[in-house]
Amino acid sequence: MAGTPQYIRNLNENLIMDALITQGTMSRADISRQTGLSKPTVSLAVEHLINRNLVREMGRADNAQGRKATLIRFNETAYYVCGIDIGATRIRIALSDLNGEIIAYRTYPMVVQEAYERAEATMLELLRSHMNELLNKNHLKWDQIQCIGFGIPGVVLPDSGRIHRIVDPLAGLEEAFSLESLSGAFPCEVILENDVNLAALGEYRSGAAAGYPLFVFFSIGTGTGAGIMVHGQLLRGLGGLTGEIAEMLVDDGRRLEEVLSADGLMQLAKEYLDQHDELLEVADSDADVKVHVIADDLHRHLTPEKLFEDARSGEVEALDILQQYCQKIASALRQISVVLAPDLIVLGGGVGENGDVLLPLLRQIISEQFPVQPQLICSKLGEQAVVTGAVQVAIQQTMLNLQQEAME
């Protein structure tokens, strides 16, 4: 087909689409100047793109003189895509147009029925139900959805789309969330990717890491992981295992995820409070009694959220616990820094997003102890980092499909 008139026409249409997506609204004459195509060629290609509903006319330009040109723009609402973040505790869904503008966003609790015979089928039905609800509320139908990008807290095997090493709360649902199962449950194309990789992509495209040539997204929450991007490309490595820092071992032989996850933080806090309780039993001053009351309160309401809340209030016990915790985070960051020497490290995840507390402590350690000192900041996208990345991969695939469709 190469060299045929149809092939050349399709190349011209794709060139025009790229120009409109990059530049925005343009006249036919603008397109001709931008692409180097002749005006008759542009006019013919634009008419065909209008028939495909991929571009649309937007009225007349505000010319100072002469005949006013008709403006053309990419039709970002010709189709839609979705990004779905399947988390350990939450399901997050974003609906987006083809420009990456998120037009609807919903969160739902993750409900895992471990002992239920149809747990896998039930989970797929739940996801489909959430999607149906979102489409109905936005007056859309399934034939308008071109692609769904899914983020999963586990290793996605590149060749098969199967899931390996999923985070513990979702253990047993690997088959339900495999690429094959998800593709069978939804009437559109499906892409499956590790959630932290997607978060890294989201931060690079429209978040805290925009424009950085080498950066690491370090996620700390129910699980622990890293997404590494070099010049806009994700590093995947053997079996897609690049960034699986959860498997790093610390000094006592434990996996890094056991130490840094939300559960690891709670274990550290419990050990600290138990130790201080023993010391306070022999103390009798008013100051010690006050500290004991605070420590007892932490015991009764021990959650990561409570710990960070108390640290923000200046409570000494909470600050001491988080100082110790930051030493453990810094140990992992140091290893990453000396191996990769990234320009930037972005902290994210349910625990890592508490930058107002963590960053000052970590930056001090970095400045005093690190031979390589990358910039350290927190996620700009927050809980939407994964769905933002999922939307981006879905758009990329959709645009590729539309280009290939024109070639057929």
* pLDDT tens column, 153-178: 999 998 899 998 898 888 888 999 99
The pLDDT of residue 155: 92
The pLDDT of residue 120: 73
The pLDDT of residue 69: 83
Res. 314: pLDDT tops 80: yes
Res. 278: pLDDT tops 70: no
pLDDT for 91-115, tens place per residue?
A: 999 999 999 999 999 999 988 755 4
Reduce the secondary structure of the chain to three states and give it as a string.
CCCCHHHHHHHHHHHHHHHHHHHCCEEHHHHHHHHCCCHHHHHHHHHHHHHCCCEEEEEECCCCCCCCCEEEEECCCCCEEEEEEECCCEEEEEEEECCCCEEEEEEEECCCCCCCCCHHHHHHHHHHHHHHHHHHHCCCCHHHEEEEEEEECCEECCCCCCEECCCHHHCCCCCCCCHHHHHHHCCCEEEEEEHHHHHHHHHHHHCCCCCCCEEEEEEECCCEEEEEEECCEECCCHHHCCCCHHHCECCCCCEHHHHHCHHHHHHHHHHHHHHHHHHHCCCCCHHHHHHHHHHHHHHHCCCHHHHHHHHHCCCHHHHHHHHHHHHHHHHHHHHHHHHHCCCEEEEEHHHHCCHHHHHHHHHHHHHHHCCCCCEEEECCCHHHHHHHHHHHHHHHHHHHHHHHHHHC
Which range is least confidently modeled, 128-132, 201-205, 297-301?
A: 297-301
Mean pLDDT of the 48-62 span: 86
Q: Tell me the pTM.
A: 0.88
Which range is least confidently modeled, 112-126, 130-144, 193-207, 306-320?
A: 112-126
Mean pLDDT of the 117-132 span: 84
Mean pLDDT of the 125-151 span: 96
Res. 281: pLDDT tops 90: no
Res. 279: pLDDT tops 60: no
The pLDDT of residue 116: 43
